[in-house]
Structure 1
Amino acid sequence: MAGLSLSLLVVVGLATWVLLREEPYVAPRPDPGAEVVRPAAAARSLQLFARAVESSDPEIAADAAPEGDQRAADLLRTLVGNADALRVRDFSLRYLDESGAADGDTWSAAVDATWRFAGYDETSARAEVEVRFAGPDAGIVGVGGVEGVSPVWLAGPVTVRRTSDVLVVAAGRGAAVGTAAAGYLDRGRAALPVVARVLPAWRGPLVLEVPATPDALDRALDAEPGDYAGVAAVTSSPDATQAPGAPVHVFLNQAEFERLRPLGAQVVVSHEAAHVATDATGSQAMPQWLVEGFADYVSLRDVRLPLSRTAAQVIAQVREDGPPAALPGAAEFDASTGHAGAAYESAWLACRVLAQRRGEAALVGLYDAVRTGSTLADALADGFGWTEQELVRAWQARLTDLAA
């Protein structure tokens, strides 16, 4: 009862102060952001835009922009054009919640998005994307931002090149982008027979996505800034989930990829195509050396270069420090260490050691066995009559011979 009386005194005292003070009481102003954010109107704009994509109607998309905002209307028309060129299907947008503070009459929200590229994706990608809204009608002014995934085809204009088995989505428009996209298409088409020589059951398709900048690559993959600095390409699901069954695309980092010589560029695309063929993004429990070494085995199988060039970095490392004590793990493949090249080469050589012992079919069998749940120890014993320690010793001996 004492607590209740005190509460009543506080309430009575507050009421008396309000009544007796000279200045009139003014209620606190609501948060300005609360006045700007209009979830119901935003949901209607999203539905309108999704209908525009489904019907390939750019004028419906323009109606999803804020009234009088020509720039936003043009952007949404462009995105519908992207979707039409890419044959986007199963497209949906569902409002989730406001994200971040309002800036004037502009605000952002997290939106659940699904899409697939017909003829290339068997399943739909599903990601949380950031959509920006503005005005009293909560029209759409942009897609993609700091939070969530920023799909390349929803970030701005793209150039599309295709064959029946390879699709290229390159950010930007114009002659230079068109020429580059044609080159990426050629690389993708050349990668298909390279992979098929080792994995004859795979014939594609292959999707190559090319964001405009390294920062755009990070946003497309929902990565921290700089995560893919120094990496020429990465294989990932376009919704960044890496979930089993999700679509798998190859993303090129233009800043690094364009620095490669023609042969190196082709090896990179073939390597990533091998990841697509084996659904490597859904095999996260596999040893990293086997995933990367096998992809390099596929991409380098018919490259006619001496080992002094294709294994130059690991040979130099062994000459300086001796052979590694163990096969490379995930940390060694981190590009930021400056030694990732040697890790890839050493993993490739481990796969070559296996192929030389029992043949290429045995190597493919081991990869498939581990990918589908077998332990490496069991797969080595069954297919090669080796323990893991015996593999490491044979691999170390091969490295030592090359460095001699």
Structure 2
Amino acid sequence: MAAASLLLASLTACGGPTAADTARAQVQHLLDTRAAAVLHHDAAAYATTGTHTPYTRLRAVPFTAWSYRVTAVRRSGATATADAQLSYRVTGYDTAPVTIGRTLTLSTAADGAWYVDSERPARDAAQQLWDQGTVGVARGRSSIVLGVGQSTRSLRDYASLADHAVPAVSDVWGTDWSRRVVVLVPGSLDAMAALLGSPADDYRGIAAVTTGEAGGSGRAPADRVVVNPDAYSLLGPLGRQVVLTHETTHVATRAHTDAATPLWLSEGYADWVGYRESGRTPEQAAPELQHAVADGHVPAALPTDKDFGFAEDSTRLAQSYEGGWLACRMIAAHWGEDRLDAFYRAVGAHDRRSGAVEDALRTVLGTDLARFTGQWREYLREQLG
């Protein structure tokens, strides 16, 4: 009797797929069809899978890869919610896929087939640009600009600025980087924050930021320069170019920027490259720090990472950027641009912050932190006093 029970249990365990398995396989097949339609620009095929809105919004973006991997399906009668990982690559820019969590709602029709009713970011996942509206595209020589709510002329202007930034960065950093830039231009500060998955207050007054993995190996999605149109629109032509060159510098230096790199160096170097061909004097480019120095308040130490907090006092934030820029400008002036480049790379070659700057100061510049800080403070007095 026991043997018969075991045999029955074995036969039951070896039965066919469960209803949940069947639904998951069906949804995976549906999303495979949907992904193929994106890659082949097949609007008709996409329409057979459900809502057509996402395709309409993203069809102008060139993709080399687009695929879904279903991780869970929760069915309730004729409807279901699916969790999936979306992976995609922008043609000519991403050397590895961007992978993000997505949540889809589905329903069945009279024929029993599943159809997608909606798709949105998964819980705690950031939005993608096409979640915010129809994406416009402008292609430059070394850039691609993707925007929502932007005119064609505006997108082309961004591409022109990015195309100018790429050789300007390569002129000082060298060519050991992709020399290609992806720029995202959402419609507002709030939309920018949604792309970054952070509160809008974190970026208020910041014209643009660059996303990417510090110390990346090159086998990663391309960094995205994400513009805050509210702040960017307040800048003049020179300011806009400086911002795009600054952010492009972050793209170029990413592989040599890691936990060992202080923000005064990474932000200061990016500003140094941005202002290098601008003709701006220290008094023009560092007004907040100039006011402080003129009043006798010379900073006692180089800016800390905390000083760069976007939510901090705007004057303190500006002085931190200006102080980092002038530190890098001083290195270029006293030791040479090649030494500045070598110093940046030497700091980033360390695995952790402790001792990284001190070691690079000693081996590359032949000085120590105390003497360097003293020289920097005197440089501030000379340039801004």
**Residues in 1 aligned to 2:105 and 2:195: alpha-carbon distance in whole angstroms:** 20
**C-alpha displacement of 1:144:** 3.0
The aligned runs of 1:351-370 (5 Å cut-off) are 351-370=328-347
Give the aligned partner of residue 122 of structure 1: 95
Alignment check: 8 A CA contact 1:61 1:77 kept:
yes
Alignment check: 8 A CA contact 2:148 2:187 kept:
yes
**C-alpha displacement of 1:219:** 2.1
Change beyond 3 A, Cα 1:403–1:305: closer
**Residues in 1 aligned to 2:253 and 2:321: alpha-carbon distance in whole angstroms:** 18
Alignment check: 8 A CA contact 1:236 1:248 kept:
yes
Partner-residue secondary structure (3-state), 2:205: coil
Give the aligned partner of residue 282 of structure 2: 307
- Say yes or no: does 1:64 pair with 2:46: no
Give the aligned partner of residue 43 of structure 1: 28
Give the aligned partner of residue 164 of structure 2: 190
The aligned runs of 1:3-402 (5 Å cut-off) are 41-65=26-50, 72-73=51-52, 75-79=53-57, 81-82=59-60, 86-97=61-72, 109-128=82-101, 130-136=102-108, 137-144=114-121, 147-153=124-130, 155-172=132-149, 177-201=151-175, 204-237=179-212, 244=216, 245-246=219-220, 247-279=222-254, 283-320=258-295, 322-337=297-312, 338=314, 339-373=316-350, 375-402=356-383
**C-alpha displacement of 1:332:** 1.1
* Structure 1 residues without counterparts, runs of 5 or longer: 1-34, 66-71
**Residues in 2 aligned to 1:94 and 1:149: alpha-carbon distance in whole angstroms:** 18
Change beyond 3 A, Cα 1:80–1:266: closer
**Residues in 2 aligned to 1:156 and 1:371: alpha-carbon distance in whole angstroms:** 39
Deviations 1:171-195 (A, max 9, x none): 14xxx52111011111111112221
Change beyond 3 A, Cα 1:243–1:356: closer
Change beyond 3 A, Cα 1:207–1:78: same
**Residues in 2 aligned to 1:321 and 1:41: alpha-carbon distance in whole angstroms:** 71
C-alpha RMSD of the superposition: 2.8
**Residues in 2 aligned to 1:320 and 1:98: alpha-carbon distance in whole angstroms:** 64
User: 148-157 or 360-369, which moves further after superposition?
Assistant: 148-157
Change beyond 3 A, Cα 1:96–1:211: farther
Partner-residue secondary structure (3-state), 2:298: coil
- Identical-pair percentage: 28
Deviations 1:295-328 (A, max 9, x none): 1111111211222111111111334462222211
Alignment check: 8 A CA contact 2:147 2:155 kept:
yes
The number of aligned residues is 349
TM-score (norm 2): 0.82
Change beyond 3 A, Cα 1:218–1:242: farther
Alignment check: 8 A CA contact 1:132 1:142 kept:
yes
**C-alpha displacement of 1:242:** 5.4
Change beyond 3 A, Cα 1:366–1:215: same
Q: 1:76 is aligned with what amino acid?
A: P
Deviations 1:207-251 (A, max 9, x none): 1111222222222222234322221100103xxx65724221211
**Residues in 2 aligned to 1:106 and 1:309: alpha-carbon distance in whole angstroms:** 61
Change beyond 3 A, Cα 1:273–1:63: same
Alignment check: 8 A CA contact 1:94 1:111 kept:
yes
User: 135-144 or 202-211, which moves further after superposition?
Assistant: 135-144
Change beyond 3 A, Cα 1:181–1:227: same
Q: 1:132 is aligned with what amino acid?
A: L
* Structure 2 residues without counterparts, runs of 5 or longer: 1-19, 109-113
Alignment check: 8 A CA contact 1:230 1:256 kept:
yes
Alignment check: 8 A CA contact 2:138 2:145 kept:
yes
**Residues in 1 aligned to 2:298 and 2:80: alpha-carbon distance in whole angstroms:** 56
Alignment check: 8 A CA contact 2:201 2:311 kept:
no
Give the aligned partner of residue 9 of structure 2: none
Partner-residue secondary structure (3-state), 1:226: helix
**Residues in 1 aligned to 2:259 and 2:117: alpha-carbon distance in whole angstroms:** 37
User: Greater Rg, structure 1 or structure 2?
Assistant: 1
Alignment check: 8 A CA contact 1:58 1:80 kept:
no
Alignment check: 8 A CA contact 2:38 2:55 kept:
no
**Residues in 2 aligned to 1:210 and 1:154: alpha-carbon distance in whole angstroms:** 13
**C-alpha displacement of 1:141:** 1.6
TM-score (norm 1): 0.78
User: 45-54 or 303-312, which moves further after superposition?
Assistant: 45-54
**C-alpha displacement of 1:149:** 2.4
